Amino acid sequence: MAYSALVMDHFQRPRNAGVMEDANGVGDEENPACGDVARLFLRIEGAIILRASFQARGCPASIAACSVATEMARGKSIAEIEGLSRQDVADALGGLPPGKVHCSVLAADALHKAVQDYRRRSS
């Protein structure tokens, strides 16, 4: 099964790609199975995600998942992000081919780690 048009769109035109210099929450995640890596940057004010960006080295599905995860994060509260599941990220991409679902885990886990990092910094 091939990637959906939505996955390819996010892969070819990633939203919010790049380093965020003034991030106050940063999360790193690696997929031990393939070695792909992702870093999620968040700028959080008053418990709301103002901006989100990412850097990643990975397969098309993982890049697309990072892209869509940053879009999902913007404007949400940190509590909402903490309630976001790995499946929610895969669903936002319209699903992934069997065998590639694990690729969306990278983005979801990096996003959660970025929120944890923010909580650590601000406690």
Q: Which is nearer to ligand FES, 19 or 34 (CB)?
A: 34
**Residue 59 annotated to the active site:** no
In degrees, rounded to 5, the angle at the alpha carbon of residue 119 between the alpha carbons of residues 49 and 101 is 65
> Smallest distance, Å, CB 66 to ligand FES?
10
Closest CB to ligand FES among 57 and 121?
57
Q: Show the 3-state SS of 38-68.
A: EEEEEEEECCEEEEEEEEEECCHHHHHHHHH
Distance CA 104, CA 94 (A): 12
Q: Report the interface residues with ligand FES, using CB under 6 A.
A: 31, 34, 36, 58-59, 61-62, 103, 106
Catalytic residue among 8, 19, 34, 48: 34
For the bound state, the minimum distance from the C-beta of residue 53 to ligand FES, rounded and expressed in Å, comes to 19
The minimum distance between CB 4 and ligand FES, in angstroms, equals: 15
- Selecting among 103, 107, 108, 111, the annotated active-site residue is 103
Long-range contacts, 84-92 (Cβ 8 Å, 24+): 84/108, 84/111, 84/112, 89/65, 90/65, 92/68
Q: Which residues are catalytic?
A: 34, 103
